[in-house]
Amino acid sequence: MTTPHTPRGALIAIEGLDRAGKSTQCDLLLKRLNSSGIPATLQKFPDRTTAIGTTINSYLTSTSHLDDQSIHLLFSANRWERRDSLLSTLTSGTTILLDRYIYSGIVFTAAKPKSPVQPPNPLSIQWCKAPDIGLPRPDIIIFLNITQEDAEKRAGFGDERYEKKEMQEKVRRLFEELRGEGSNDKGDWWVIDAGGTVEEVAEEVWKGVLEGLRRVKEGNGEVRSI
Ligand code: Z5A
Ligand code: MG
């Protein structure tokens, strides 16, 4: 007799510029999924609850300094330390919402100004992506797009290290580059205008989630890798 097969959960990444409403939408989505009978959980990156996350938090709040390469590798290590639990949660049939993932990791490092003491082009997209190779790949990346003007109007903007206008503009360009990179990646992105009301954005995000769930249902059950 065969054991009944539990379909795996979907891996759904929510990405976007600062103050685009990612965490707001993740909280709403989690409630909506669970109340629709779809088991779901939330994983935020950086995960500031771990020892590595504590170091990242002190860097982001400017209470400590690290060189650009070291902090980049710590952000990636913070994802690797959650890899096994992400995979076992998906296999158990639970959908995971990722509040930021490797894409934030790549663009925020690649957006940094180049230091004259670094070797040529050390913070290229390719260099930034390398440590995340092998991590679980999302079934869909829902990208919340917002103008700089709208983001600056929202509460809390400017509190942390990277929340400066020049940095945010570079991040915006690099996200665009990433979304257009390589034909295999094109279908992964679901871009949403995040400038509307919370409720309007939530409806658009939900369409992306349904698409992610559809892909899993029609897939072969395997979790792909970055
Ligand atoms: N980072 C990195 O460098 N490398 C990595 O590998 C990773 C991250 C994973 C901290 O991230 C920093 O880490 C981040 C990238 C870098 N740097 N920056 N800058 P974080 O995820 O911890 O950041 P956060 O503090 O959660 O902020 P956020 O993500 O930028 O915000 P958000 O989640 O997108 O927005 P929100 O908290 O949901 O909403 C912001 C405010 O707007 C809040 O008052 C809401 O009530 C309001 N809001 C939300 N939606 C709306 C709408 N639709 N209308 C009006 N107001 C709204
Ligand atoms: Mg957030």
Q: Is 138 in the pocket of ligand 1 (CB under 6 A)?
A: no
Q: What integer best gives the mean pLDDT of the chain? A: 91
Two tokens, residue 40: 């779901």
ipTM above 0.90, yes or no: yes
* pLDDT at position 119: 63
Q: Report the pLDDT value the prediction gives residue 122, as an integer from 0 to 100.
A: 67
Q: 16 with 6: CB under 8 angstroms?
A: no
How does DSSP assign 169-190, residue by residue? HHHHHHHHHHHHSSHHHHTTEE
Q: Which of 14, 18, 98, 129 has the most ligand 1 atoms within 8 A of CB, as the residue to mutate? A: 18
- Dump pLDDT digits (tens) for 34-54: 999 999 999 999 999 999 999
- Our mutation pick for probing the ligand 1 site, out of 15, 19, 167, counting the most ligand atoms within 8 A of Cβ, is 19
**Distance between CA atoms of residues 168 and 154, nearest Å:** 14
3-state SS, 53-82, equals HHHHHHHHCCCCCCCHHHHHHHHHHHHHCC
- Is residue 155 classed exposed, middle or buried when 0-12, 13-18 and 19+ CB atoms within 10 A define those classes? exposed
Please determine, for residue 106, whether its predicted confidence score (pLDDT) is greater than 60: yes
Would you give the DSSP letter of residue 132? G
CB of residue 8 inside a 6 A radius of ligand 1: no
Ligand 1 centre distance from Cα of residue 220 (Å): 34
What span, in angstroms and rounded, lies between the C-alpha atoms of 111 and 183?
23
Res 158 pLDDT > 90: no
